[in-house]
Structure 1
Amino acid sequence: MTTAITRPALLLRDFSLEMTGKDAAEVIDARGAIPPGTRINVTFLGNEDLPMRRAAARTVREQGFVPVPHVSARRLTSCEDLKEFLAALSADGTQKEIFAVGGDPAEPHGPFPDALSLIESGLLEDFAVRRVSVAGYPEGHPDIADSALWSALKEKSTALQAHGLAGEIITQFGFDVDPVLDWIARVRELGIDLPVRVGVPGPAGVRRLMRYAARFGVGTSASIAKKYGLSLTNLMGTAGPEKFLRALATDYHPDVHGQVKLHFYTFGGLRATSDWIHDFRKAS
C-alpha cells in the first residue's frame, strides 16, 4: 500500500510543463533538471508569430522532450491558417500532440470558435496529430457559464473518440485542492474517462501569482491564500505549490478520480519550476 508521504512523488512521475515561444533558450538551460520525454506545452500567444512558435516546438523536440504546441482556435483567420501551422509542425515532426483551446479573443478571427471546431474539422488527423489535450475549468470561467463548460467538455471527449484521437484534459491552475478534486469526480460521473492533468502554478512571486489569479478568475480569498501558502502581507515574497501537492496527493483517490497527473504553469520561469520539481521529488 502506498503511504501518503510517497504519493506526491507518484503524482510527479509524468508531469508536464508550459512555456511560451520566447522561452526556447530556457528549455536548453533547464534540460538537466527535466526528465527526458517530458511533455512541454508551447503557448499560442497573439504577440508571437509562426516562426517563433515553430522554433520553440522544434527546440523542445531537439532537447529530448515532447512538444505540445497550442492551437488557439479564435486566433486562426482561416482553414488555410490552421493548415499552414499544422504543416509547419509536421515538417519538423512536432505535430503529434497538440493542445486545442478556444483562446482569448472575444470574437473568432476566422471559422473556428472553439476547440471542438478544431477537432471536428478533420484537419488534425490529416496532418497526423495523434493526441489532443483540451482545457478544463474546476473553478469555472469568468466569461462562460458552467453549463456551457460541462456541455463543451462532454462534446470534446465524444469528438476525440469519433475522430480516433487520444486525449487528455489540462485544468486551469488553482490554489485550492477541494474544488479541483470535486470537479474531477464530476467529470468521472459524466462518463468522461480522459486522463486529467491538474494545473499547478510553479514557484513564483506572490504578487505575480495574485495577478494571474485575478486575470483568470481563480479564487484567491484570504483563507485559500493561507491554505496554499501565499503571504498577503508580504507580496514581495515567493511561493511554491508544496502544500497544494501534498493535499492533492492525500485526498486523491484513483477509484474516484481516475488517472490524474500534473501540469505546471511556469509563471516564475521554466528553469525555476524545473529545479523546484527536481528538488521536491528528491525530498518526497
Structure 2
Amino acid sequence: MYGPPMEEQHRGPAAPYALEVTGKDIAQLEASQADIPAGTPVNIAFLGNETHAQRITAARVIRACGFEPVPIISSRRLLSQQDLDTLVSELIIEVRPKRFLLVGGDPASPAGPYPDSLELLRSGVIERHGIRHVGIVAYPEGHPRIADAALWEALKWKLSFLADAGCSVEITTQFGFDADTVLRWIEQLRHEGFDTPVRIGVPGPTDVGKLLRFARQFGVAASAGIARRYGFSLAQLVHRVGPERFFERLLHGMEKRDVGAILYHLYPFGGIADGVRWMNRHAVSVTA
C-alpha cells in the first residue's frame, strides 16, 4: 500500500508530498502558494544562522498559507532545556503544529545538553508538551560519521520509545541518489517489523554543482557510479538535473516489493517553484 499514515487517514486524504523550507525561503513559499496542495506539510529547517523568532514567523506564514507547519527541532543547536521548552511552547501557542520533527543536527559539538535526538526524547519533551505526533529522520545511504549498525539501533530505539509513549511516528529519509539502496533499506525496516510510514527524500531540480554541495553538507555519498545512475556528469556542474531517473527506478522497484505506507519529501534545492512543479507532475499520481 502506498497510502497515507493512519492518523492522517482519519483526518482525510494526505498531501502527496511534504517539503522543506528555511526562514529565508518564506517569500518563495508565498509566491508558490497556488501551486502547493492545501494542507501540505512544510518542514521548517533549524539553521544555525536563524533565530527562534524567525522559525516561529515562518510557522505562522506557513499556517496562514493553508499548509501544515512541521517545526524541526535540532538537538545539538539547543542551548538548554529552557531554550527547548520556550521554543516548543511558543510554537504550540502560535500555530499548534500537528507534528514535530526531532533531529540531531549538524554541529560537531552540541551547544547544550542534547548531543542527539535520543537524548532529546529522553528529556521528557514529549510528555511536558503533550506532543502526540513525531517525525524522525533516517539515512538509507548511510551517514559519514555514524556506522550503519549504530544508525539502525538508534532508529529502532526511537521507534520503540515513541510507540511506548503513545505517539504516532513518521520517518523522513535524507535525500539520496541510489533508489535501489533506498528500497533495500525500506525492505529491512519492514523485515524488522516496523510498519511506520516513510517519506522518501527527493531532491528537486537543481544544478549538479549545488546538488553535490548539498550532498557533501548532508553526508550523502556521491560516487561517479551513482552520479551516472542518477543521470548527470561530474564534469558538467552547471548542468541542471532533476530526479527523474531516481524516481522512475524507485517506483519500478516498489511495484515488486511490499514496501508499506510510502509518501515523499521534497528538498527544493533549486528553488521552491521548480521543485513544487516537478512534484506536482510526478508525486500526485503515485499517492492518489
TM-score (norm 2): 0.89
2:32 corresponding residue in structure 1: 30
2:58 corresponding residue in structure 1: 56
Deviations 1:192-247 (A, max 9, x none): 22111111111111110111122333232222212212232322110111111111
1:274 corresponding residue in structure 2: 276
* Matched length: 274
Contact 2:134 2:167 in 1 (8 A): yes
Contact 2:68 2:98 in 1 (8 A): no
Contact 1:73 1:114 in 2 (8 A): yes
Contact 2:15 2:38 in 1 (8 A): no
Deviations 1:54-85 (A, max 9, x none): 01111111101111110001111111111000
Deviation larger for 209-218 or 196-205? 209-218
Deviation larger for 196-205 or 252-261? 252-261
Residue type of the alignment partner of 1:151: E
Match of 1:158 among 157, 160, 173: 160
- How far apart are the structure 1 equivalents of 2:150 and 2:163? 20
- How far apart are the structure 1 equivalents of 2:194 and 2:283? 30
- How far apart are the structure 2 equivalents of 1:217 and 1:199? 14
- How far apart are the structure 1 equivalents of 2:285 and 2:89? 43
Match of 2:20 among 14, 18, 26: 18
1:107 paired to 2:109? yes
- How far apart are the structure 2 equivalents of 1:93 and 1:217? 32
Contact 1:116 1:159 in 2 (8 A): no
What is the CA RMSD across the aligned residues, in angstroms? 2.0
1:42 corresponding residue in structure 2: 44
- How far apart are the structure 1 equivalents of 2:194 and 2:285? 34
Q: CA deviation at 1:26?
A: 1.3
1:118 corresponding residue in structure 2: 120
- How far apart are the structure 2 equivalents of 1:209 and 1:49? 26
2:6 corresponding residue in structure 1: none
1:172 paired to 2:141? no
Match of 1:86 among 85, 88, 106: 88
- How far apart are the structure 2 equivalents of 1:266 and 1:129? 28
- How far apart are the structure 1 equivalents of 2:195 and 2:75? 24
SS at match of 1:249: helix
- How far apart are the structure 1 equivalents of 2:257 and 2:38? 29
1:200 corresponding residue in structure 2: 202
TM-score (norm 1): 0.90
